[in-house]
Each structure stands twice: as C-alpha cells, then as structure tokens.
Structure 1
Amino acid sequence: MVETLKLLQFGDSVFPVGAFSFSNGLEMAVQQGVVHDRTTLQDFVRTVTRLAATGDGVALLTGHRGAVAGDLDRIRQADEAVYLRKINEEMRTMSVRMGHKLAEASARIVGESLLKERIGGAANGVPVTYPVALGVLFAELGVTEEDAFAAHQYGAASMVLGAALRLIRVDHLDAQSILFAVNEKVADDYRDVYTAELEDMQGFAPHIDILAGAHQHAHVRMFMN
C-alpha cells in the first residue's frame, strides 16, 4: 500500500517538476492544423506515448534496473542515451529541466539516495534526465519497473491532454476519454520494450521533429515546446 501511495505522489501530473510548461509538441501541431479535433488529438497522444515507450521508456527501465543493482554508471549511461537522442533543443530542455526538478524534489522529500548522488555527479558531466530520474526514484521507493513505466506513460499522455484543454475545443471529459483509451496500450508497450537495451532506443517521428523545430522559432507561444 505504501509503495502505491508513493507512486501516486511522485507520478502525479501536478507534481512540481514543471510539466505544465510544456505541451510535448502539441502547440505547434495545433497551429499547423495537424491536431484540430478529438480524433486527431487522440492520434497525436498515441503517437507521443508510443515514442515515449520506445525511447525514454527504455531508458527509464535501464535506470530502474541500475538503481536496483546499485549501479550508478548504468544510470549515467541511461541519462546520456536520452540526452543524445533529443534532436530538438526544446525537447532536451524539457527532459533535463524536469529531471533536475525531480531529483531536487526527491533529495528534499526522500533524503539520501542514488538519485541525489547522481545529481551531484552531473555538475561536470551528463545531465540528469526525467525518465531516468523517475525510474531511479521509483526503484528506490520500492515501486516495480512495470508500475514505474506505466506512470511515465501516463505522464506523457496527461502532459499533452492538459495542454490540449488550453489549445483546442475539447473539454475535460473528452480528455479523460482519450486518456482512458490510450492507457489501454501501456501493457502492450511495456511488453514490446522490456527486453530492449539502450542501443535499441528509437523514436522515429519526423513530422513531430519538424513541428518541434518550428516551434522553437515561433514568436508567439504558450508553452516551452
């Protein structure tokens, strides 16, 4: 029961890591007409969560397993794999900023941990990234890797849907219906990636990369990406 409560606390979409500042690419998708109604929004959210699974999700599992083994170097390698695969500057900023905030919050709330040690070693090297930090934190809190992965996927979807409520004509029930439908795919995504290694990480979505690159130079925007 205690582990479940910790999962709910740190996996909450309103946990103060700054997720509300980002749209995970949705803002430019709306501006370009790629997303314009509930159907296209659901398609976009599913694309985002699939990319989250095959990319950051693999690093999260590696970070979780590294924490279970007490292997700080494996955790650092997972952070490096995430950082190097963020082609767009805003996406890198999102991952690093949220990772740093989560590590700082963990140090204050949880205390001494591998994650605190990791952030201390990041000053002159590879930065802490959000998916890896989440995996490490949940491992140290006794949360299983399956539940840690699920929380990460939920967060990726809820970030987009939270932004959608401010960007297009959908209401809260539309957003919850989409979230419910997308959540049905989490177990399938986990089965697809649970044996993957860092070199297997992938995130081929050129349309989203182009939109993210265009957003970086937009003059008017509500979100950082």
Structure 2
Amino acid sequence: MPTDPRLLTLTQWLSPSYPIGSFAFSHGLEAAIAEGWITDADTLQTWLAGVLTQGSGRSDAILIWTAYRADTPDTVNQIAEAFSPSAERRREAQRQGAAFARATCDVWGIDLPDLMLPVALGRAAKLVDLDPGDLVALYLHSFASNLTQAAQRLMPLGQTGAQCVLHHLTPVCAQIAHDTEHSTLDDIHSNAFLSDIAAMRHEGLEPRLFQS
C-alpha cells in the first residue's frame, strides 16, 4: 500500500528545514538550565514530559484540534494569545505562526492569516485536508525535538543522550494526540509551573543564545 502523501506534507511542515525559525527559540529551556533545574538527560526528559503532558504541549494540542474544527480561527487565536504565560512565549508562537503562514500560503496557495503557530497549523490542515491526529502527534514530536536540540547547545548532553530522550518521549506525544482529540478550549490549562516561570525569567537572562 503506497504511503499517503498527506502524511509527507505534515512531515514537511514540521521538519527543521521548514522556514519558521524554530531553532531560535528554547521555550524557557535556556533559563531552566541556567537556574540548574535541568542538568542531564534524565532531568531534561522529566522536564519535557511535564511540558508535554501538563503544560504548553498539551495546550497546543488542544489549540490544533479546536482550530481544525472551527469555522474561523479568530476566537481560537485570541484564546491562544491570552493563555501565553509570558511576552516571549507569545512572541515565539506569533513569529513562528506568521512565518508558517507566509511559507504555506506561497507553496499551497491557501488563504492563511498570521496566527499563533498551533492555530495556524490546525487551520492549514483543515484547508489542505490533512489528518489532525497525525498533525498533533507530529507537532508534539517536532516540538520536543527542537527543545532537545536546544539543550544540546546549552549543556553536555551529546547526540546519543539527546536521541534517547526523544525516543522515550515519542509514545508520550502519541498519547497526548489521542487524549486531546475531543477536548475544547475550556480544557486548556497549565500545571507546568516551573516551565512558565522559566519563560518569564528568560526575558531578563543575560547573556543568552535564544529568543525565548
């Protein structure tokens, strides 16, 4: 049975080569490492698992699902902006979402306004008729991969250690995609308090490598 080309489109959107500048953002990870909250592969894996299951990862999954189902993305985007715990987090999602919209409009010829990244992804998937469940799982995996790569630049993790972390987070990403399928905007919350605090502290961190 041939591979569904729509799955390949999703992998293209969520590839590090897609021009949204995700490599420039650490999602507060840089501040967390500077504070000594993350020191090795085990603490990195625990941190990222918490962000995925209890923090912005889960929230982004819900935003993708709801943006996909919505007639228009406006309300979903307003909620996404309102739930950003820091100015840098909001800017991170805005800049990546705007870059995603520009590239995707040019390539696929769709009408996609500048939106927060998860909202833009959900809306684009609806317009191009892609599977939202696959999108959520791949987005979370890409999100974890980007942060793992950021950690490699910030601490002595190594390539093998980084890949072990990502390997253990893979089933977590798939489970979140399944668990959030029927969620609504009312289900958005964050219990990953240290992650949100790290995002706030990063705004005053000097020197730094990342924009968030």
Q: Would the TM-score normalized by the shorter structure come out above 0.5?
A: yes
Name stretches of at least 5 consecutive residues in structure 1 with no aligned partner: 120-127
Match of 1:38 among 32, 37, 41: 41
User: For 1:171 and 1:53, how far apart are their aligned partners in 2?
Assistant: 24
Cα displacement string for residues 63-120 of structure 1 (whole angstroms, at most 9, x for unaligned residues): 1122xxxx12xx111111110000200000001110111001111111133x2xx34x
User: For 1:36 and 1:140, how far apart are their aligned partners in 2?
Assistant: 42
User: For 1:133 and 1:103, how far apart are their aligned partners in 2?
Assistant: 7
Match of 1:55 among 59, 64, 70: 59
Match of 2:14 among 11, 16, 19: 11
Q: Would you say the 8 A contact 1:58–1:201 is kept in 2?
A: yes
What amino acid sits opposite 1:157 in the alignment?
Answer: A
What amino acid sits opposite 1:110 in the alignment?
Answer: W
Match of 2:90 among 86, 89, 92: 92
User: For 1:169 and 1:11, how far apart are their aligned partners in 2?
Assistant: 26
User: For 2:85 and 2:7, how far apart are their aligned partners in 1?
Assistant: 34
Cα offset for 1:28?
0.7
**TM-score, normalising length: structure 2:** 0.93
Identity of aligned residues (%): 27
Match of 2:146 among 159, 163, 172: 159
User: For 2:25 and 2:173, how far apart are their aligned partners in 1?
Assistant: 22
- Residues 6/101 of structure 1: CA separation in 2 closer, same or farther (3 Å cut): same
User: For 2:197 and 2:57, how far apart are their aligned partners in 1?
Assistant: 20
User: For 1:101 and 1:4, how far apart are their aligned partners in 2?
Assistant: 21
Match of 2:187 among 195, 200, 216: 200
Cα offset for 1:52?
3.4
Matching of residues 54-133 of structure 1 within 5 Å: 54-66=58-70, 71-72=71-72, 75-113=73-111, 115=112, 118-119=113-114, 128-133=115-120
Name stretches of at least 5 consecutive residues in structure 2 with no aligned partner: none
Cα offset for 1:19?
0.3
State the match for 2:168 in structure 1: 181
Cα offset for 1:136?
1.5
What amino acid sits opposite 1:59 in the alignment?
Answer: L
What amino acid sits opposite 1:76 in the alignment?
Answer: D
Cα offset for 1:210?
1.7
Cα displacement string for residues 22-74 of structure 1 (whole angstroms, at most 9, x for unaligned residues): 011110111010001110011111122222343111111011122xxxx12xx
Moved over 4 A (4+): none
State the match for 2:124 in structure 1: 137
User: For 1:8 and 1:27, how far apart are their aligned partners in 2?
Assistant: 26
User: For 2:66 and 2:77, how far apart are their aligned partners in 1?
Assistant: 10
SS of the residue 1:190 aligns to: helix
User: For 1:198 and 1:216, how far apart are their aligned partners in 2?
Assistant: 27
